[in-house]
Amino acid sequence: MPDYIYKICTVEDWAAAETAGVYPGSPRDSEDGFIHFSLSEQLAGTLAKYYADADRLVVVAVRAKSFGESLRYEPSRDGALFPHLYATLPLSAVTWTRQITRDAKGVFRLPDEIGAI
């Protein structure tokens, strides 16, 4: 499995997590009982499917091996395996966060660091 997994969330949700020292997940995460993550190659599809109309987003990079058995790779969209965290996300596990921007045509641009790690 990959070294890094990624969480997309709103700037406001991430600011609240920084204040609390832990990210409990989004409302959708709470409904599903786990925190949804994506692999680098899944991020564009996740943005298109769940965040098409959203602005002010961040992507959070986390080392996958930080979680042991709390992290499971389970089938989701088109049968692809997605990382699901059955725990809260402590900020101590976060490697970095970056804002997700849009280009002049409104297409999401992911940070260059995603391709570099």
Q: What is the pLDDT of residues 12-61, one digit of tens each?
A: 999 999 999 999 999 999 999 999 999 999 999 999 999 999 989 999 99
Report residue 41: phi and psi, to 5°.
-75, -10
Please name the residues in contact with 39: beta carbons below 8 A apart, sequence gap of 6 or more: 2, 5, 6, 82, 83
Question: For the domain with range 4-111, which CATH number is right: 3.30.465.10, 3.20.170.20, 3.30.420.40, 3.40.50.720?
Answer: 3.20.170.20
Could you tell me the pTM of the whole model? Answer: 0.92
